[in-house]
Amino acid sequence: MALLAGVPGVGIALALLLFNDYSTKVRLTLILFIGVIWLGYAFALRERVVRPLQTLSNLLSALREGDYSIRARGAHHEDALGDVMVEVNALGETLREQRLGALEATALLRTVMAKIDVAIFAFDTDERLRLINRAGERLLAEPAERLLGKSASELGLSETLRGEQTRTLQITTDEGTARWGVSRTTFRERGLPHQLLVLSNLSRALREEERQAWRRLVRVLGHELNNSLAPIKSIAGSLETLIGREPRPADWDEDMRRGLSIIASRAESLTRFMEAYSRLAKLPQPAYESLNVQDWVNRVADLETRLKVEVLTGPDVTIQADSAQLDQLLINLFRNAVDASLETGGSVRVYWTRNGAHLDVMVEDEGPGLSNTANLFVPFFTTKPAGTGIGLVLSRQIAEAHGGSLSLENRLTGTGCQARLRLPL
């Protein structure tokens, strides 16, 4: 095209030379001069177009092969090809930074997978293992080189790729049978679906939690039993000494009755404690039925006779719940609130609101408030002389059995505290 661009001018020049009266020497000189200038500019133009395109091709080839370090020299914005070179250089720098970030992220991921204490497996569409971490190698007791490419059935993991995505299973390994948490999800690699399997050993954590629970239970039971058995033992010894004295004192029968009365009182207290423990340990599953919140709150508020509970009007809401269990829960909250308000001569009020997909029931008192919230929901912990220490624990257990929650905190404005019962709508 560069040569064709000069054809009209060259043709006119040659025609003028041939059809006019010029000497042969002049004609040959001018023809040679015109030809050299024409071909020189044509090939120079071609070179200015082809060389940048070849450089651009080399740059794109390097990018395709993953070499992001090559740059085009002399790239500038003076012409269209210069703009292209500048943009390709910028693209190479962006890809270099992204690749560096990806390499750092991959290194971090590999470090995490190597250090994490859960077994991670990745299976392709044919359920063949494509990825495993060190915890997975320890679980299967073989190196990754021998495991990659094997099917899930050969590895004994086919059951984990079936059923619910999150559950617990009994898995037998070289270390014995243990409970494992199974979590499974899907991801795509090169357009093909894969399954990511995460296995975590729950037995060690469960055993530790079980030991802690037993320690707390034994500590509480021992404390309560000692509180009852110590005075019983002491008074029984005193009565035995009294009976063995000769002659007996004149008021020995009165001392005997008083001592037996104390023994009976402590035995009754111990009986109440064991009954409370049985109630806490044998809470049945909720029997769901329709329950109007307004009627429920009014009914339970009328049961409190020591202090009138103020019921504020709330939205008309009906929930599915066990009315008997929720009655017991609200009775416990009202009793605690009234006990606190009677100390200061305050009042008690209850109201409820809708909060998204939940119902919030608030019971507020004007008592002295909470000095320590750490032991609120510890079983059998109480600050009341005649308390059992299971009211709040049983109430929270009922709330959680209904899929809700129970919290107790000091009020932000004024004295007293607020109990918040959250139940699903």
Report how far residue 263's alpha carbon sits from residue 240's, in angstroms, rounded to the nearest whole number: 13
Q: What is the pLDDT of residue 359?
A: 94
From 161, 179, 201, give the residue that closes a domain. 201
- Check whether residue 86 and residue 158 sit in a common domain: no
Q: Is residue 393 situated within a structural domain?
A: yes
Q: Are residues 195 and 122 in contact, defined by beta-carbon separation less than 8 angstroms?
A: yes
Mean pLDDT of 97-123: 86
38 three-state secondary structure: helix
Q: What is the pLDDT of residue 106?
A: 81
From 41, 68, 98, give the residue that closes a domain. 98
Task: Identify the residue with better confidence: 127 or 250.
Answer: 127
Count the domains in the chain: 4
Q: What is the pLDDT of residue 190?
A: 82
Task: Using pLDDT thresholds of 50, 70 and 90, give the confidence band for residue 223.
Answer: low
State pLDDT tens for residues 56-69.
888 889 888 888 88
Q: How many CB atoms lie within 10 A of CB 300?
A: 21
- Check whether residue 349 and residue 382 sit in a common domain: yes
Q: Is residue 111 situated within a structural domain?
A: no
Report how far residue 366's alpha carbon sits from residue 346's, in angstroms, rounded to the nearest whole number: 5
- pLDDT > 70: what percent of the chain? 88
- Check whether residue 313 and residue 267 sit in a common domain: no
State pLDDT tens for residues 3-16.
888 888 888 888 88
Q: Is residue 104 situated within a structural domain?
A: no
Mean pLDDT of 145-157: 88
Q: Is residue 145 situated within a structural domain?
A: yes
Average pLDDT of the residues of the chain:
83
- Check whether residue 301 and residue 402 sit in a common domain: yes
Q: Is residue 171 situated within a structural domain?
A: yes
Q: Is residue 107 situated within a structural domain?
A: no
Report how far residue 248's alpha carbon sits from residue 404's, in angstroms, rounded to the nearest whole number: 63
On the CB side of 229, CA atoms within 13 Å amount to 6
- How far, CA to CA in Å, does 221 sit from each of 106, 211, 235, 273, 380? 53, 15, 21, 9, 9
- Token output for 358: 């939940």
From 236, 255, 281, give the residue that closes a domain. 281
- Check whether residue 74 and residue 33 sit in a common domain: yes
Residue 259 domain boundaries: 206-281
Task: Using pLDDT thresholds of 50, 70 and 90, give the confidence band for residue 169.
Answer: confident
Mean pLDDT of 70-75: 78
List the CATH number of the domain containing 416: 3.30.565.10
- Check whether residue 211 and residue 188 sit in a common domain: no
State pLDDT tens for residues 371-416.
766 556 655 555 555 545 567 878 888 899 899 999 988 888 888 9
Mean pLDDT of 114-132: 88
Task: Identify the residue with better confidence: 283 or 65.
Answer: 65
Q: What is the pLDDT of residue 175?
A: 60
- Check whether residue 210 and residue 332 sit in a common domain: no
- Check whether residue 12 and residue 94 sit in a common domain: yes
Task: Using pLDDT thresholds of 50, 70 and 90, give the confidence band for residue 105.
Answer: confident
- Token output for 184: 């499974």
Q: What is the pLDDT of residue 321?
A: 94
- Check whether residue 217 and residue 192 sit in a common domain: no
List the CATH number of the domain containing 170: 3.30.450.20
DSSP 308: P
Q: Is residue 316 situated within a structural domain?
A: yes
State pLDDT tens for residues 289-333.
999 999 999 999 988 888 999 999 899 999 999 988 899 889 989
Q: What is the CA radius of gyration of the chain?
A: 44
Task: Using pLDDT thresholds of 50, 70 and 90, give the confidence band for residue 51.
Answer: confident
- Check whether residue 295 and residue 385 sit in a common domain: yes
- Check whether residue 248 and residue 296 sit in a common domain: no
Q: What is the pLDDT of residue 397?
A: 85
Residue 402's region, left for phi above 0, alpha for psi from -120 to 50, else beta, is alpha
> pTM for the full model?
0.44
- Check whether residue 24 and residue 80 sit in a common domain: yes
